A and B are shown apart, each in its own frame.
Chain A
Amino acid sequence: MFLVVRLLVVAVIGAGLGLGSVWLALGDPRLDLTPHLGPWRVAGAASDPYAAARAARAGGLPLGPAEGVALVATSDADGRPLDPRCHYRVTGPAPSAPLWTLAVTDRQGRPPTNPAGRIGFTSRDVIYDHAGGIEVVVGPTARPGNFVPAADLAGLVFTLRIYEPGVAADLPPAERLPTVRLSGCTMGGGR
């Protein structure tokens, strides 16, 4: 009888902690241990079983090794969560790949809607500075230059996709990627 009770306790602890820790590890972004490059997190790292599990639950397919890599920012360079009421500058060196895209969405992957149809920039249409770098401003009110209006988004996520074979296995250092800087917030922006 005592042995049965012990086995039951072991089973309850094992199932409860085991499954509970999986639920936490896959659902809480703070426990996402995928590689970070400055504010960017590597999406769907092929060798990470947690990333594979997250991708399966989300119903997505990450970029393959020959396709490139997707980097996702949900916080600025100082670790503050992105807020659609604020203006941000995605600024610094442009990725050296033949093609990259920077998409602005909410946390559900929906892009902003605006008359210009502007949802981000690519290496083909962004305006570069004299040093070959970029500065893309994202926020609720219009700014000159490379600007993405995001007033209608409830959340804010930046996804930088770099299309170059093998880049996922040989990621550029954070200093060779643009970073995300807070420019300021509108009234009620909470900053």
Chain B
Amino acid sequence: MIGTLVRTVLSGLVVAGIVHVVAVLLVPGAAPGDAVARVAGTAPPDRVTVIPADTSVLAGLDPFFVHAVCPFDVSRGPVEIAGQMPPDVWTIAVAAGTGGIAGSLEHGSVADGRLDLVVGRPGDVERMRLQRVESGRTATMVEVDSDRGFVLLRAFDGPRADEADIRALLSALTCGPAA
């Protein structure tokens, strides 16, 4: 009888361990207010929208930066974010699906501050990469593992910077189907 009880409890502990691991891995995709859902509910797709650095859209943003987002859905093909970035420090993160970061880059990784970022499914990105090689156009390519996500642009609003200029530059970026 005691042996049966011990085996039952041990089996329960093994199941608990499996449930724990599975639940932790599922939380990013199941959380109702994850970053992708928050951005999709705030900013329209296919355009760059400046968002406040408070917690109203995304938590944990740096208050010394100006932030902008472009939500995307790559089910119909890759999207492209392009244009002139602010002159000081900036960074970009591409979030997709479960809110994980699919790719990131910073101001030193593009020439002359001209951003050309293509985001898409691996097959689409590979096709786009080959097209770009043939046409001689260069772009930073980021592959995502799910259709919906967003690009987060962070631009430093330094002591000698003009926040209005930074906001204007970020808002002027194009974001839409890749050509």
Contact = CB atoms under 8 A, between A and B. Distances in A.
A15 B58 CA distance: 32
A67 B15 contact: no
A142 B175 CA distance: 46
A19 B20 CA distance: 6
Interface residues of B, number: 56
Interface size class, chain A: 35 or more
Contact of B104 (A6, A56, A67, A125): A67
Interface stretch (A73-81, A116-124, A170-178): A116-124
A9 B104 contact: no
A46 interface: yes
A98 interface: yes
A154 interface: no
A161 B61 CA distance: 10
A14 B16 contact: yes
A163 interface: yes
Nearest to A44: B60
A99 interface: yes
B168 interface: no
A25 interface: yes
Interface of A: 6, 9-19, 21-22, 25-26, 43-44, 46, 49-50, 52-53, 55-68, 70, 98-99, 101, 103, 105, 108-111, 119-120, 122, 124-125, 159, 161, 163, 165
18 contacts: A6-B8, A10-B8, A12-B12, A13-B15, A18-B15, A18-B16, A18-B20, A43-B60, A55-B28, A55-B35, A62-B101, A65-B101, A66-B106, A67-B92, A101-B64, A159-B60, A159-B62, A165-B108
